[in-house]
Amino acid sequence: MRTMLSVLLTIFAGYLLICLLAYVLQSRLVFFPDRNVSLTPAAVNLDYEDIRFQTQDGIGLHGWYIPTKNPSGTLLFFHGNAGNISHRLSSIRIFHELALNVFIFDYRGYGKSEGSIDEAGSYLDARAAWDYLTQQKNTEAGTIIIFGRSLGSAVAAYLGRQKRAAGIILESSFRSIPELGQQLYPFLPVKLLSRIEYPTSDYLRDIMIPKLIIHSREDEIIPFSHGIFNFGLAPEPKTFLELSGGHNDGFWTSRHIYQAGIRDFLKNTWNYSRQIRD
């Protein structure tokens, strides 16, 4: 009996230790920054401007502005939780082919940006990027498309609730970090342990500009159900685009569907913007 009790206590103590580690080290389970910016848009034959700008709390950020001839608008790009901007060249090229200027930057702690990443900081980074576009580049808010992929979809939704952009695209979005974490780690009380929220769904409820929700049914990291849930609660106007392929390559393996869907969304968004102005 004592042996059994001892075993159970050991198991319980081990479980508590795992919970403690998950609580203390959760940033390392969410953010995977890479400091090495190995390539630039020149690697895919695109001209670009190397950009430095600063956040409200004094953190220096680094990004690229990739212009295109006769742009229909400008895309503000919020990337996912791993790597840095040099790993998004394929996406940049797709948006360039869609006649969009692209402004992409690294969050604090990523690439050549200063500081270290956390949720509150990423929101400050988003606001600084918007201010750079609208104030330094003199880009009209009504010509900006906010784009976020994976973790970036939460940052994009945060900004989209605050700013009157032309439209917003959320690709591979999740409901919130606690909701996603509970599915990925069902043996842990993630909702009780989580200090990182990124409540995409809560932000999305209040976004009134045109929305495009993109998700692959084969996404192995963020379940398709999260995209469906976000689309369901999003207010009109909204569109859903289903892809095939994995979390990190769906946009490329489905690129013909992807480009056509975004092209249609952009056309409808510009028409919607004109109707609102008129």
Instruction: Domain ranges for the chain, please list them.
Output: 31-277
The confidence score (pLDDT) of residue 19 equals 66
- CATH, range 31-277: 3.40.50.1820
C-beta of residue 232 within 8 angstroms of C-beta of residue 173: no
What are the mean pLDDT values of the chain's consecutive 10-residue runs (278 residues total)? 66 67 75 95 97 98 97 97 97 97 98 97 98 97 97 98 96 95 80 87 96 97 97 97 96 96 96 71
The confidence score (pLDDT) of residue 36 equals 96
What is the β-pairing status of strands 49-54 and 60-66? antiparallel
Q: What tokens does 77 get? A: 């790009």
Q: How far apart are CA 40 and CA 19, in angstroms?
A: 40
Active site residues: 150, 219, 247
What is the β-pairing status of strands 60-66 and 100-105? antiparallel
The confidence score (pLDDT) of residue 278 equals 54
C-beta of residue 240 within 8 angstroms of C-beta of residue 231: yes
The confidence score (pLDDT) of residue 107 equals 98
**Confidence (pTM):** 0.92
